[in-house]
Amino acid sequence: MELQIYLNGKLVPKSEAKISVFDHGLLYGDGVFEGIRSYDCLVFRLMEHIDRLFESAHTITLKVGMTKEELRDAVITTLKANRLRDAYIRLVVTRGPGDLGLDPNKCKAPTIFIIADKITLYPDALYKKGLDIVTVPTVRNLPEALNPSIKSLNYLNNILAKIEANNSGFSEALMLNASGYVAECTGENVFAVKCGELLTPPAYIGALEGITRHSIIELAEKLKVPFCEKPLTRHDLYNADEAFLTGTAAEVVPVVKLDGRVIGTGKPGPVTHKLTQAFHALTKTCGVKYKL
């Protein structure tokens, strides 16, 4: 059966899930989104994702036109329609169709769509070996210009960074802010471990407040791993004992090399391992359940 897409209140087959070329999500990147995972019929932290979506929408004065509960039900309906136990879910709200000017007031109603599909997992070897990443010249958007806490459809800043990493033969990029502090990667938050302490930059440095990041911080507290949120430089990462990235799609990925400098032993470390195990356990318990 063809994949069923939720589009503006209805389920439609993938081949018929089309939006207007006048949609401002397409013309201007004017919209917000979430990337969500379901694990064995449990949508991990679904309400937290919906809360973040509403916050992003509020900041860009985009009226979602559905309640949080209606959106939750729409996500579950989409998963059920496609009989998916484990999925990657893309929830998107755009400004909707308007005219060729960028004035959002000309857009009458938002476009809402939900794609739930099978996930393509990163290869196992990546998690065992760890990532080798590079710092790129493109800095993260200035929070004063476009706050990285808004999960908007405008990802060119991150895409430019990805292109720079790819051009240098790397698959992931470390992005700094305009003052040279570590911000995040193109789609993941960054953590370091130094002398047993877990470190991550505060969101005001220029990072998205990741839901995986938040889960890892909670787990660190539970597991009595000392934690500190503070600005980090590349020097801090080069000289860390361990480093890892967090994101919904990637989960927890160890980083073993940055800009040619080996981090710690050059292998995924024990704190990363402990937090990864705890994170996997959390994905089995924390979220909204559904039945197929």
Q: Taking each helix axis as running N to C, give the angle between helix 68-81 and helix 46-59, from 0 to 180 degrees, rounded to the nearest 10.
A: 130
In whole angstroms, give the CA distance from residue 80 to residue 86: 11
Cβ 7 to ligand PMP shortest distance, Å = 22
The verdict on whether 129 is a catalytic residue reads no
Shortest CA distance to 135 belongs to which of 247, 235, 8, 42?
Answer: 235
C-alpha atoms less than 13 angstroms from C-alpha of 245 in its C-beta half-sphere: 28
User: Of 107 and 183, which has the nearer Cβ to ligand PMP?
Assistant: 183
Using CB under 6 A as the binding rule, whether residue 143 contacts ligand PMP is answered as no
Applying CB under 6 A, the span of 63-71, 109-117, 125-133, 244-252 interacting with ligand PMP comes to 244-252
| By CB under 6 A, residue 82 contacts ligand PMP | no
The Cβ of residue 48 has, within 10 Å, a number of other Cβ atoms equal to: 16
Instruction: Determine if 184 is a binding residue for ligand PMP (CB under 6 A).
Output: yes
Between 4 and 189, CB nearer to ligand PMP: 189
Q: What distance in Å separates the CA atoms of residue 248 and residue 19, rounded to the nearest whole number?
A: 26
Provide the minimum distance between the beta carbon of 106 and ligand PMP in the complex, in angstroms, as a whole number. 28
Of the candidate residues 38, 78, 135, 246, the single one contacting ligand PMP (CB under 6 A): 246
Give min distance, CB of 71 to ligand PMP, in A.
16
- Using Cβ positions, the residue closest to ligand PMP within the complex turns out to be 210
CB 243 within 8 A of CB 210: no
Rank residues 37 and 194 by Cβ distance to ligand PMP and give the closer one.
Answer: 37
Q: In angstroms, what CA-CA distances link 12 with 23, 75, 113, 241? A: 18, 14, 10, 49
10, 63, 151, 284: the active-site residue: 151
Is residue 135 involved in binding ligand PMP (CB under 6 A)?
no
Task: Give the H or E element holding residue 191.
Answer: strand 189-194
Can you tell me which of 143, 201, 247, 269 binds ligand PMP, judged by CB under 6 A? 247
Residue with tokens 């195990």: 277
**Ranges of H-type helices in 184-233:** 211-222
Of the residues 3, 19, 35, 274, which one makes contact with ligand PMP according to CB under 6 A = 35
Which residue in the set 56, 135, 141, 248 belongs to the binding site for ligand PMP (CB under 6 A)? 248
Residues 203-242, interacting with ligand PMP (CB under 6 A): 208, 210-213
Return the closest-CA partner of residue 32 out of 62, 76, 7.
Answer: 62
Active site (catalytic) residues = 151
User: Given the rule CB under 6 A, which residues bind ligand PMP?
Assistant: 35, 158, 184, 187-189, 208, 210-213, 246-248
